[in-house]
Amino acid sequence: QKEVEQDPGPLSVPEGAIVSLNCTYSNSAFQYFMWYRQYSRKGPELLMYTYSSGNKEDGRFTAQVDKSSKYISLFIRDSQPSDSATYLCAMKADNYGQNFVFGPGTRLSVLP
Amino acid sequence: DGGITQSPKYLFRKEGQNVTLSCEQNLNHDAMYWYRQDPGQGLRLIYYSQIVNDFQKGDIAEGYSVSREKKESFPLTVTSAQKNPTAFYLCASSRREGLNWQFFGPGTRLTVL
């Protein structure tokens, strides 16, 4: 079993839809969770950073962490064609460690 | 404007040649990283460095080498010993403590001919 699993997609939705992207993980020590967006042939850019369980909202984006289920989600409201990208989840166990573990990414297409 | 730069954007190499990928950051970050990205796989860590003149092997260090002589710079050499070097290479940096998510560079696409 991989340490972090993510449905690779592609996921296609119409413009304006609510998108749900998910990751599951096996290591219960993970406490810090990140979502990155990566456009084709570009470097990933950080969208959300959360610690432990709960929700965090930033504009159209909401990150949820459920540590009891080892499950994290990213919701995108009112999706736009410019949201079309690959979304990577990442996580790590401690604040000082450099051991970031990434999911393989989900490719999202938002159709106009 | 703070950020990370990688050069070149595209690189072609003949088999048997060593090539060096450049990574520079002006974010005053202590930690720097090199990842390899292949289609359908997550980012795989090649090397990381938490401080100048010190670096650690990641999960797939074989066939690669790095140096960290300056805080701002972390070049990666892909040697001829790397069996399958064609990939997208990403450099990242982060603070060493506190909220330390990674900032990524734009990447270098290496193709072996």
Summarize pLDDT for A14-24 with one digit per residue, the tens: 999 999 999 99
Q: What confidence score (pLDDT) does residue A93 get?
A: 85
- The whole-angstrom separation of Cα A81 and Cα B101 is 27
Phi, psi of A81 (to 5 degrees): -55, -30
Nearest to B106 among A6, A43, A88 (CB): A43
The beta-carbon contacts of B57-65 under 8 Å, at least 24 apart in sequence, are: B58/B33, B58/B34, B60/B36, B64/B34
Cβ contact, residue pair A44, B90, below 8 Å: yes
Mean pLDDT of B101-113: 93
Whether the link from the prior residue into B8 is cis, omega within 30° of 0, is yes
Task: Express each pLDDT in A42-83 by its tens digit.
Answer: 999 999 999 888 899 999 999 999 999 999 999 999 999 999
pLDDT of residue B113: 85
| pLDDT level of residue B1 (50, 70, 90 thresholds) | low
Q: Which residue has the tokens 């991989």?
A: A2
**A-chain residues within 8 Å CB-CB of B50?**
98
Long-range contacts from A52-58, C-beta under 8 angstroms, 24+ separation: none
> What letter represents residue B6's amino acid?
Q
The pLDDT of A83-101, averaged and rounded, is: 86
Region B84-95 average pLDDT = 94
- Measured between CA atoms, how close is B31 to chain A, in angstroms? 8
Q: Is the pLDDT of residue B97 over 90?
A: no
pLDDT digits (tens, 9 = 90+) for B19-65: 999 999 999 999 999 999 998 778 999 999 999 999 999 999 999 99
Strand partners, B76: B21, B66
pLDDT above 70: percentage of residues in chain A: 96
Separation of alpha carbons A110 and A42, rounded Å: 18
At residue A1 the predicted structure's pLDDT band, cuts being 50, 70 and 90, is: low
Residue B93 pLDDT level (bands cut at 50, 70, 90): very high
A97 vs B72: which has the higher pLDDT: B72
The pLDDT score that the predictor gives to residue A102 is 92
Backbone angles phi, psi at A9, to 5 degrees: 75, -155
Confidence of residue A97 (pLDDT cuts 50, 70, 90): low
Residue B6 has pLDDT above 80, yes or no: yes
Q: Which of A42, A98, A102 sits opposite B107 (nearest CB)?
A: A42
A47 to chain B, minimum CA–CA distance in Å? 11
Per-residue tokens: B49: 């460095």
Q: Is the preceding omega at residue A10 within 30 degrees of 0, hence cis? A: yes
- Chain B: nearest CA to A37, how far in angstroms? 11
